[in-house]
Amino acid sequence: MPPLPDTAGTHPAKENTITSKTSLSAILTASLCCLPAFLAPAAHVSAEPLCIRDIIKPPINLSISGTYYSNREKGFSVDVSPDRFIKAYSDGVTIIGVKGEDTPVYYIIDKNKKTVLKVSQTNLYKIGLFFNWNSMTTLVDLPGNTAVTAQNETQDGCTMYLVAGADAALCVDGNYHIPLRMSQRGATVARVASVKPLHTDLKTSADSLTLTCRQDHYTFFDVDSDMAPDAD
């Protein structure tokens, strides 16, 4: 097997998503934007205790697209079915996620480097990538027990929530239970532009993607096999 490529250029360690105060710079998957008008006065804050898992649920059979904002804009689209997702970025990286018996398996396709990395969730962190199924599909990389405070302010059918300890806000769609806009420190993190029902067989689409990579002579790396104790 060829040596594993440097993944630092393949995909950032974190996507543009809202994280804890101690790791605000480590951002990887998100979608929102906040304007000062979205922040309701303190007197309107709900006293009901809530956390991330109460307001955000992993999407199923949806097709979502939007834009991340950090040093530069990066478009994304993510199609999600019950057992897999395909997330494509405008910088040439596509990530396929497939639920396995024990842990999800990811195929990280880099069109620029012409590489495909196959890696399980177990070994993902060992190669410097810090995402998981929920952060890829719900667009928020926060523990489920992170406290949020509901605001009375709504905009375009979504409700604003302030994230405890992160100087951040989420505007969450009440029907799909995903964030449509997010901000951190008053700056846009990401915004969802479209949410539609999924009309694609993702297994067929994923198989087609990997077949095209083989036909185009991409280099494939099986990270789990290469990191096995008995690997040469």
Q: Is the Cβ–Cβ distance between 192 and 181 less than 8 Å?
A: yes
Residue 91 in any domain: the answer is yes
Burial 86-124 (b: 16+ CB within 10 A, else e): bbbbeeebbbbbbeeeeebbbbbbbeebebbbbbbbebb
Does the predicted TM-score (pTM) go above 0.85? no
Residue 13 in any domain: the answer is no
Instruction: Tell me the chain's radius of gyration from C-alpha atoms.
Output: 18
- What residues make up the domain containing 83? 21-226
Report the domain count for the chain.
1
Residue 93 in any domain: the answer is yes
Residue 1 in any domain: the answer is no
Q: What's 146's domain CATH number? A: 2.50.20
Six token digits for residue 69:
């904002």
Q: Rounded to an integer, what distance in angstroms lies between the CA atom of residue 134 and that of residue 115? A: 24
Give the pLDDT of residue 26: 29
pLDDT tens sequence across 61-116:
999 999 999 778 999 999 999 999 999 999 999 999 999 888 999 999 999 999 99
pLDDT tens sequence across 116-167:
999 999 999 988 998 999 999 998 888 889 999 998 877 777 899 999 888 8
How far, CA to CA in Å, does 219 sit from each of 6, 21, 31, 216?
A: 13, 38, 31, 9
